[in-house]
């Protein structure tokens, strides 16, 4: 599942299960590159939830999650941050991280 | 017109391009349009995929999303409920493959990481993928490289192709021209060129911040400028960028030489801020032309 959510709906949305929060902006080139990689992963693994969080449309995200650059991915399990990674990543690197957070 | 001397003959771009192709990591072809089209369509529909329970008499196939319990002495494989899409190996590839062909409620004895694992299938869901629509493309809220909203499937496909094309050609242009810049140094950058480029950039930044953020950079406090750019004033910021203007002069001169474009009139970089960007895009086209020529050969 992929949702585009403002900060005020974030907690309620990600409170259960595994979520990837993608902190991005719509004019960030690396965000667009990473978005395609994430798109392929979500397409093949629809049980993974993706929350697209635009830090310009919802500036509160930036301070709350201490996002210092985009794209930043925060991996969450039952509402709790488990890992984070910034910048463009390969599909393999992301899947390895997803696997370790989802299944330990 | 730039006053900086550039005392070189026409640059043999093709020779530099061939030298680039000798690199082990050289990119020799542009992205495949059909592959990127498929990728774009996957990205459009990713938020609209639904999972539907399959009939009881059907078995797990690769790509299905399966929930199962597992028992093992290894903690990773001793869980009440695991949900995973079969086939990518996110959980454990051999174990996932062992589930293919199993039905709901079936119990399997298999192994993972050298230990026996007992698996019970709890549910099997199959992906329903809709055809991408213009509405789906529009709701992604994506903007293209000209910062225009993308509102159609075709527009999104084109944006992805253009994005990938620019990524590839940007890298090719960098590696082809890197030795060209080294072999054609600009010794004496004319002070009036640097000053003209500084004036243009100062005006561009001023107008952009006023338009987009309502900020008058000349009236920003010292603290605000420190936080923004690590200097005391907008003029200090521009002064710090003179090294960049030297690079910009060289880039304009080298690109103009290769492309055979006189840096006068509309293409005078001391008169218009966008000239270097436009020359760079023409260099991308030049790299694409060189690539296509060689792939035909």
* B23 domain-assigned: yes
**Average pLDDT for residues B278-293, to the nearest whole number?**
96
C-beta atoms of B63 and A44 within 8 A: yes
Q: In a 3-state reduction of DSSP, which class is residue B282?
A: helix
What is the pLDDT at residue A44?
Answer: 94
Domain count, chain B: 2
Q: Using alpha carbons only, what angle is made at residue B282 by residues B265 and B22, rounded to the nearest 5 degrees?
A: 140
Q: Which of B128, B163, B185 is where one domain is finished?
A: B128
Please report which helix (H) or strand (E) contains residue B119, including its range. strand B115-128
Q: Which domain holds residue A83?
A: 2-103
| Per-residue confidence (pLDDT) for residue A25, from 0 to 100 | 87
Confirm whether B5 is domain-assigned.
no
- Compute the radius of gyration of chain B from its Cα atoms: 29
- SS3 (DSSP) at A21: strand
The answer for residues whose C-beta is within 8 angstroms of residue B214's C-beta and 6 or more apart is none
CATH code: domain of residue A94: 3.40.30.10
Residue B165 has pLDDT above 80, yes or no: yes
**Whole-number percent of chain B with pLDDT over 70:** 100
Co-location of B115 and B159 in the same domain: no
pLDDT for residue A62? 86
The reply to whether B184 and B219 lie within a common domain is: yes
- Domain boundary among the residues B65, B95, B128 is at B128
Question: Rounded to whole angstroms, how far apart are CA atoms A17 and A19?
Answer: 7
Q: Considering only A27-41, B102-116, B152-166, which range has the smallest mean pLDDT?
A: A27-41
**Interchain CB distance below 8 Å, B39 and A36:** yes
CA contacts within 13 A on the Cβ side of B109:
1
Is B175 contained in some domain?
yes
**How close does chain B come to A45, measured CA to CA in Å?**
5
Which of B61, B25, B20, B45 is CA-nearest to residue B173? B20
Chain B interface mutation, best of A24, A26, A31, A47, highest count of B Cβ atoms under 10 Å? A47
β-pair partners for A4: A52
* Rounded Cα–Cα distance for residues B295 and B27 (Å): 12
Q: What is the distance between the alpha carbons of residues B140 and A42, in angstroms, rounded to a whole number?
A: 15
User: Does the N-terminal peptide bond of residue B150 adopt cis geometry, omega within 30 degrees of 0?
Assistant: no
User: Has residue B62 been placed in a domain?
Assistant: yes
B121 found inside a domain: yes
Range of the domain at B96: 50-128
Residues belonging to chain B with any Cβ–Cβ distance to chain A shorter than 8 Å: 39, 42-43, 45-47, 49, 51, 63, 65, 75-76, 82-85, 87-91, 127, 129, 139-143, 147, 160, 163, 167
Output phi, psi for A50, to 5 deg: -120, 125
User: pLDDT tens across B43-74, in order?
Assistant: 999 989 999 999 999 999 999 999 999 999 99
Residue B290 — very low, low, confident or very high, per pLDDT cuts 50/70/90? very high
Cα–Cα distance for residue pair A88/A38, rounded to 1 Å = 10
Backbone phi, psi, residue B135, to 5°:
-65, -45
- Are residues B145 and B253 part of one domain? yes
Is A26 within 8 Å of B143 when comparing Cβ atoms? yes
Measured between alpha carbons, how far is B5 from B238 in angstroms, rounded to an integer? 24
Residue-wise pLDDT for A87-99, tens only, equals 999 999 999 999 9
ipTM above 0.90, yes or no: no
CA–CA min distance A32, chain B (Å): 8
Distance from CA of A85 to the nearest CA of B (A): 18
**Burial (0-12, 13-18, 19+ Cβ within 10 Å), B101:** exposed
CATH number, domain with residue B63: 3.10.50.30
Backbone CA torsion sign across A22, A41, B148, A8 = negative
Q: Identify the CA nearest to B205 among candidates B187, B232, B228.
A: B228
Cβ contact (<8 Å) for A33 and B127? no
pLDDT for position A29: 82
pLDDT band per the 50, 70, 90 thresholds, residue B38: very high
User: Which candidate, B177, B180, B172, B181, places its Cα nearest to that of B287?
Assistant: B172
A44 contact residues in B (CB cutoff 8 A): 63, 85, 87-88
> Which ranges of chain A would DSSP assign to H, the alpha helix?
10-14, 29-44, 60-64, 91-103
Which pLDDT belongs to residue B295? 84
Under 8 Å CB pairs connecting chains A and B tally to 73
Helix (H, G, I), strand (E, B) or coil at B19: helix
- B23 and B64 in a single domain? The answer is no
pLDDT for residue A2 is more than 80: no
- Report the alpha-carbon distance of residue B270 to residue B297 in Å, rounded: 40
Q: How many other CB atoms are there within 10 angstroms of residue B27's CB atom? A: 17
Are the C-beta atoms of A6 and A58 separated by less than 8 Å?
A: yes
Q: What is the mean pLDDT of residues B29-38?
A: 91
Q: How many domains does chain A have?
A: 1
Domain closes at, from B103, B128, B153: B128
Question: What's phi and psi for B238, nearest 5 deg?
Answer: -65, -40
Q: For residue B260, report the phi and psi dihedrals to the nearest 5 degrees.
A: 70, 35
Contact: A39, B42; criterion CB under 8 Å? yes
pTM of model > 0.80: no
Q: What is the pLDDT of residue B236?
A: 94
Using a CB-CB cut-off of 8 Å, the residues of chain B touching A104 are 75-76
Return the residue in B38, B43, B77 with the most chain A beta carbons within 10 A, the one to mutate for interface testing. B43
- B144 and B31 assigned to the same domain: yes
Task: Examine the pLDDT at B81 and tell me if it is beyond 80.
Answer: yes
Residue B31 scores a pLDDT above 90: no
Nearest-angstrom CA–CA distance, A67 and A83: 13
Contact A81, A75 (CB under 8 A): yes
CA distance B225 to B218: 10
Q: What single string gives the DSSP state of each residue in B125-191? A: EEEE-PPP-HHHHHHTT-B-TTSPBP-SHHHHHHHHHHHHHHHHHHHHHHHHHHHHHHHS------H
Mean pLDDT, rounded, for A74-81: 94
Q: What is the pLDDT of residues A26-69, one digit of tens each?
A: 778 889 889 999 999 999 999 999 999 999 888 889 889 999 88
Per-residue pLDDT of B215-269, as tens digits, reads 999 999 999 999 889 999 999 999 999 999 999 999 999 999 999 999 999 999 9
Tell whether B45 is covered by a domain: no
Using a CB-CB cut-off of 8 Å, the residues of chain A touching B88 are 44-45, 95
Q: What mean pLDDT comes out for the span B151-164?
A: 94
Cα–Cα distance, B76 to B264 (Å, whole number):
68
Same domain, B155 and B117: no
Work out the mean pLDDT of chain B and round it to a whole number. Answer: 94
Task: DSSP letter for B46, please.
Answer: G
């Amino acid at each position: 599942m992929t949702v585009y959510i403002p900060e005020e709906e974030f907690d309620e949305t990600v409170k259960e299960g595994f979520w990837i929060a993608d902190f991005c902006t719509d004019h960030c080139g690396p965000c667009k590159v990473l978005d395609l990689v994430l798109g392929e992963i979500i397409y093949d693994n629809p049980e993974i939830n993706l929350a697209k969080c635009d830090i310009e449309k919802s500036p509160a995200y930036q301070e709350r999650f201490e996002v210092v650059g985009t794209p930043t991915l925060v991996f969450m399990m039952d509402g709790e941050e488990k890992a984070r990674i910034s910048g463009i990543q390969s599909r393999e690197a992301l899947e390895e991280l997803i696997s370790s957070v989802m299944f330990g | 017109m730039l006053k900086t001397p550039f005392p070189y003959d026409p640059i043999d771009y093709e020779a530099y391009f061939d030298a680039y192709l000798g690199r082990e990591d050289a990119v020799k072809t542009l992205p495949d349009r059909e592959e990127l089209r498929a990728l774009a369509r996957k990205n459009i529909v990713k938020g609209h995929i639904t999972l539907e329970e399959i009939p009881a008499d059907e078995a797990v196939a690769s790509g299905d999303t399966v929930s199962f319990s597992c028992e093992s002495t290894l903690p990773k494989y001793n869980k009440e409920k695991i949900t995973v899409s079969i086939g990518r190996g996110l959980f454990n590839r051999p174990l996932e493959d062992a589930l293919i062909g199993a039905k709901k409620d079936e119990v399997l004895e298999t192994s993972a990481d050298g230990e026996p694992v007992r698996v019970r299938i709890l549910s099997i869901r199959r992906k329903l993928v809709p055809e991408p629509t213009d509405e789906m493309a529009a709701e992604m809220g994506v903007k293209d490289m000209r910062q225009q909203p993308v509102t159609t499937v075709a527009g999104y496909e084109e944006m992805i192709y253009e994005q990938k094309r620019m990524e590839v050609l940007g890298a090719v242009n960098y590696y082809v021209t890197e030795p060209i810049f080294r072999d054609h140094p600009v010794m004496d950058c004319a002070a009036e060129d640097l000053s003209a480029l500084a004036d243009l950039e100062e005006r561009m930044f001023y107008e952009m911040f006023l338009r987009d953020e309502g900020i008058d950079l000349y009236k920003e406090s010292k603290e605000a400028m420190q936080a923004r750019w690590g200097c005391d004033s907008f003029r200090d910021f521009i002064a710090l960028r003179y090294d960049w203007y030297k690079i910009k002069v060289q880039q304009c001169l080298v690109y103009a030489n290769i492309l055979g474009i006189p840096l006068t009139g509309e293409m005078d970089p001391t008169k218009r801020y966008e000239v270097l960007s436009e020359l760079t895009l023409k260099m991308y086209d030049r790299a694409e032309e060189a690539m296509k020529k060689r792939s035909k050969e």
